[in-house]
Each structure stands twice: as structure tokens, then as C-alpha cells.
Amino acid sequence: MAAKTLEFKMEMTCEGCANTAKKVLGKQESVTSIVTDVSSQTVLVTSPLSSEEVLKILEKTGKPVEYIGEK
């Protein structure tokens, strides 16, 4: 399966929140890139995983998160 870049909106108020997202996603071997932006509250994830799979992983942070679309 080819990797794609998916964009998510996630409530982040500080770099600690962003690091939590990176930590849960970093446990997935198939995730090749994670870019967080606290000011725009977005997370870009490059992976062959589906948007539903990545959303479930991000929900483990306990923060509100929603899928925006593919980049």
C-alpha cells in the first residue's frame, strides 16, 4: 500500500500536546512522517495506514481530533 499524507485537526495548546501526538504515532512502524503545528492545531501524518486507523491512534491522546483530508 502506498503512503499518503493525511491531515488532522487536533486540540493542542502547547508543544507537550504536540509531543504526545508524535509519541503515539511514533510507535507505528508504518508512519514515516509526523508534522505538528500547535498554532494551526494540525497534524500531518505520512503513512499507508487509513485515515480511520490514524484517527484511532490519535484519539489515544485524549484530545479532540478530527480528520480533515488527504494532502
Beta strands in 1-71 (DSSP E): 4-10, 33-37, 42-47, 65-70
Q: Is the pTM of this model over 0.85?
A: yes
Above 80 in pLDDT, residue 1?
Answer: no
Are the C-beta atoms of 27 and 63 separated by less than 8 Å?
no
pLDDT tens for each residue of 21-51: 999 999 999 999 999 999 999 999 999 999 9
Taking residues 5-28, report their average pLDDT.
97
Q: What mean pLDDT, rounded, does the chain reach?
A: 97
Query: For residue 24, what are the domain limits?
Result: 4-70
| Number of domains, the chain | 1
CATH of the domain at 19: 3.30.70.100
What is d(CA 17, CA 30) in angstroms, rounded to the nearest whole number? Answer: 22
